[in-house]
Amino acid sequence: MKTGIIIGSNEASRLAYAAMTSVIISSMGDEVYVFLTMDAVKAFTKTPEVKTEDVASKAMVEKKEEDYISLFKKAKKTNKVKIYACSYASKLFNLTKADYNELVDEIAGITSFSMDTEDAQIVSV
């Protein structure tokens, strides 16, 4: 089975939810395709920009919960997770592949993501 996760926000709580979902699904042996779009691309640069204004994000920071980066690293260790940075959002924010951290596999459009997630369950965060 395949799961596609679309992330459009750089809020810490949403990123953590997507990362936890990726860890769980990939650890069960299923493929996970993550599509980062709009503000979410900012959270995957070498100098990440993450919002922590919402209640859940603040609580995660206060309690020193595991962050989305370390969770996605765990998920990627399964070799079942692929992370795309949206080509449109990358262009919008003037980001190249060199600007992204090691978690991002490639810059691609929604068409590539859609082709890889054909017949998959899609989760939008």
Can you tell me the distance from the alpha carbon of 102 to that of 37, in angstroms, rounded to the nearest whole number? 17
* Structure tokens given for 1: 């089975």
Has this prediction a pTM greater than 0.75? yes
pLDDT value at residue 35: 98
Show the domains of the chain with their CATH numbers: 2-124 (3.40.1260.10)
| Burial of 52 (C-beta count, 10 Å sphere; 0-12/13-18/19+) | middle
The residue among 25, 57, 34 whose CA lies nearest residue 103 is 34
pLDDT value at residue 61: 86
Residue type, 63: K
Residue pointed to by tokens 């980062």 = 36
The H-or-E segment that residue 103 falls in is none
Which residue ranges of the chain lie beneath pLDDT 50?
Answer: none
Q: pLDDT digits over 55-89, tens only? A: 998 998 899 899 999 999 999 999 999 999 999 99
* Neighbouring C-beta atoms of residue 74, cutoff 10 Å: 16
pLDDT value at residue 3: 98
Q: Residue 19 — φ and ψ, nearest 5°?
A: -65, -45
